[in-house]
Amino acid sequence: MKIDVNEMKSATMCDKATRTWCCRIWLVFSISIVLLTMMIQIWSYYFSLVREMDTLSSAEPRLGALLSVCNNTVEKSWNIDCTVSDNVYICSSSSLDKNVYILSTCSENIDLKDLGEMRLSGCCRLMFWILPW
């Protein structure tokens, strides 16, 4: 098939083919703008939700008390009162609630119900963490 250059029509500004081409380009451009706007809105909504979740989950465990004991003596204590009698540590604290996790370097397992009377041997340190939940 041979195309003769002399037979081709030149495109003018108001031809139907030119208007159709312009309408198609305008349609593609406007759909692209709408999709880009939707992506930006979804992106900003996602990050606003993440930021809101971060502010809501700012509750974290906090240190309620510290206790360091060695050889039946209380070496250091913070926010907790302890005395020793007959190898038993008798402790009390007004700041410790029910939601307390005890992190210790002692060889014994210590529970919060044992806070009144703890039997500890050797040297160890106890950290009382107050949990927010």
Q: Tens of pLDDT along 30-51?
A: 999 999 999 999 999 999 998 8
Is there a contact between 129 and 93 (Cβ–Cβ < 8 Å)?
A: no
In this structure, the answer to whether residues 49 and 68 fall within a common structural domain is: no
For residue 47 the two structure tokens come to 């990050």
Nearest of 95, 88, 84 to residue 129 by alpha carbon: 95
Domain interval for residue 47: 13-56
pLDDT, tens digit (0-9, with 9 covering 90-100), for 93-121:
777 777 888 888 887 777 666 667 787 77
In this structure, the answer to whether residues 125 and 67 fall within a common structural domain is: yes
- Does some domain include residue 28? yes
Is there a contact between 130 and 123 (Cβ–Cβ < 8 Å)?
A: no
Nearest of 77, 79, 89 to residue 120 by alpha carbon: 89
In this structure, the answer to whether residues 52 and 71 fall within a common structural domain is: no
The total of structural domains in the chain comes to: 2
User: What's the rounded mean pLDDT across residues 3-23?
Assistant: 75
In this structure, the answer to whether residues 126 and 70 fall within a common structural domain is: yes
- Does some domain include residue 115? yes
